[in-house]
Structure 1
Amino acid sequence: MMKEQWVKDLSTIVNPQDVKIDEPLKNYTMTKLGGNADVFVMPSTEEAASEVVKYAHLHKVPIFLLGNGSNMVIRDGGIRGIVLNLSKLDQIRIDGTTVYAQSGALIIDVSKAAAAKSLTGLEFSCGIPGSIGGAMAMNAGAYGGEIKDVIVSCKVLTPTGDILELSKEQLELGYRKSIIAKNGYYVLSSVFELQKGDQETIDATITDLTFKRQSKQPLEYPSAGSVFKRPPGNFAGKLIQDSGLQGKGVGDAEVSTKHAGFIINKGNATASDYIDTIHMVQRVVKETFDIDLETEVKIVGEDLPTDKNKTL
């Protein structure tokens, strides 16, 4: 009965059509993997998002923020409690050289909007398949650029639903980390400061980086993007490639033959297949090079209950 009560209560905060019970999360992840959410809610305003978080805190309901699902593997058993999705908060505004973007806006779209106004500084993000919220939480970066290079401030929700405005310094941005992830904050919006640039140069840079991404990454298959963090003095993809792991995997999960840093879902993989493939890669690289690969992707949710009658 708990799920039904949560749905009833949350439907007074957001549009009832934006509250769903037992929603399949594979529909919201780049891997196309994951079990169901007990309750899935998509508020249309920052105020409503705050009220949802306050409700979860008050009633001690577990709450999980799901962004664009691009850097994440959700286990086959799904996620208990409330899954909060802010993809409807997707406004992008530009005033001079200042760019405002809500958490649900895709960083690719923000990069394109900035480029269209001849603003330079966000070109590095033109191929990052995530939302502003996710990019902020992990200080996303590519091709020599990072969020911390252009961020001014960020508005967040605390785990109790209070709204905070954090400066660049307060965000504590480092390699794939931030105060947002550390304190369990929920990003509402961000402000970036860019510079006026030459339109031809900006367009050429975006074209070049887009080509590099499309030619080197297995975008034709669902994946969680780059699976592992870069180990000091090495590259995860090179270590995996030199370990002879490309084309290998568990079930329909496979280390990409196009880019060894990616694990793809060839069509019918389960989250367990994907996670087992991650563990296989970590084990073999450790045995081969004595290097521990740390995951960049987050693995969340619950496993399916074990079938005790299953014969192996």
Structure 2
Amino acid sequence: MNQYKDFSCILKSILKEDVLIDEPMKKHTSFKVGGPSDVLVTPESLSDIVDVIKLCRKEKVPYCIIGNGSNILVKDGGIRGVVIKTSKLNNIKIDGAKVTAESGAMLSVVSKKSASYSLTGLEFASGIPGTIGGAITMNAGAYNGEMSQVVESAVILDENGEVRELTKEELELSYRKSAILKYGYIVLSVTLSLKMGDKEKIINRINELTKRRTEKQPLEYPSAGSTFKRPEGHFTGQLIEESGLKGAFVGGAQVSEKHAGFIINKGNASAKDILDLIKMVEDIVKEKYNVELHPEVRIVGEE
């Protein structure tokens, strides 16, 4: 029974039509799995998201922030409380070599828009399928680039309900870590400091990385990108492949035959299938190589 239906009526007074009840999370995640969220809201402005979070905190209603759901695995029991989806907070402003984007802006869109202004530095992010808010939270990276190389500052909502601007140093960015994760901050917007460059070279680099990604990654199947963090001194996909796990199945979940670092939804997988396959990979790699793998994908919800 959904105990937050009455609370959803209060939210509707703030957000009008952008409030859904018992919404299947498989509609909102790239893995295409996950049980229902009690309430899902999609704020249209930064002030709306601040108001929703403050209200949830005041009424002691649990909440969870998602971007476009590309690095998240929602368990089959779904999510209790309120899911706040940032996808409509997607404004991008360019001033010289500075790019400011709201947290729900797609990183690929920010990268390509920057390129259209002859700004270089964000080419590595052109194929990362997440929002800029999620990217700064996880210090996302690819092809020898990461967010810490280009970020200047971020506006966040802190644990006391205060809106603050954090400098690059205050964001404490390291491999898949940040002060945002550490202290539970909510990202509202991010400012990047890029450089002027040659537009043709920038676009050619983006096209080159897109081709490489398409050739090497199983983009034709639902997944959450690289499933595991890279253990120091090792390549995750190589460890998994050499453990004989490439192509391994649990239910509808499979270790990709194209790239062993990806677990994919091959057909009607449940979240439990994916979680069981993650556990199997972790156990076998640990047994064979004494290397511990840890999920890069964010796991939320109830069994």
How far 1:158 sits from its partner (Å)? 2.1
* Contact 1:40/1:85, CA 8 A, preserved across alignment: yes
SS at match of 1:21: strand
In structure 2, how many angstroms separate the alpha carbons of the residues matched to 1:90 and 1:200? 26
Segments of 5+ residues of structure 1 without an aligned counterpart are 304-312
Q: Deviations over 1:237-258 (max 9, x none)?
A: 0000111101112001000000
Report what 2:4 is aligned to: 3
Q: Deviations over 1:127-167 (max 9, x none)?
A: 10100110010000000111011101101112443211111
Alignment of 1:168 onto 2:168: yes
Q: Deviations over 1:153-212 (max 9, x none)?
A: 101112443211111110000000000011111111100010000112111111110011
User: Letter of the aligned partner of 2:229 in structure 1?
Assistant: K
User: Letter of the aligned partner of 1:61 in structure 2?
Assistant: V
Report what 2:150 is aligned to: 150
How far 1:95 sits from its partner (Å)? 1.1
User: Letter of the aligned partner of 2:184 in structure 1?
Assistant: G
Report what 2:188 is aligned to: 188
State the 4+ residue runs in structure 1 displaced beyond 3 angstroms.
none
Q: Deviations over 1:221-276 (max 9, x none)?
A: 00011011111111000000111101112001000000000000012000000000
Report what 2:71 is aligned to: 71
Report what 1:50 is aligned to: 50
Q: What pairs with 1:82-97 in structure 2 (closer than 5 Å)?
A: 82-97=82-97
Report what 2:294 is aligned to: 294
SS at match of 1:99: strand
Report what 2:132 is aligned to: 132
Identity, % of aligned pairs?
53
Q: Alignment length, in residue pairs? A: 302
Report what 1:222 is aligned to: 222
How far 1:4 sits from its partner (Å)? 2.0
Alignment of 1:104 onto 2:104: yes
In structure 1, how many angstroms separate the alpha carbons of the residues matched to 2:159 and 2:219? 35
TM-score (norm 2): 0.98
In structure 1, how many angstroms separate the alpha carbons of the residues matched to 2:249 and 2:77? 21
Segments of 5+ residues of structure 2 without an aligned counterpart are none
Q: Deviations over 1:63-104 (max 9, x none)?
A: 111111111111000000111111110001111111010011
In structure 1, how many angstroms separate the alpha carbons of the residues matched to 2:274 and 2:38? 23
In structure 1, how many angstroms separate the alpha carbons of the residues matched to 2:217 and 2:87? 25
* Contact 1:66/1:83, CA 8 A, preserved across alignment: yes
Q: Deviations over 1:6-32 (max 9, x none)?
A: 1111111112x1011101111110100
In structure 2, how many angstroms separate the alpha carbons of the residues matched to 1:284 and 1:123? 36
SS at match of 1:83: strand
Report what 1:141 is aligned to: 141
Report what 1:279 is aligned to: 279
In structure 2, how many angstroms separate the alpha carbons of the residues matched to 1:100 and 1:220? 31
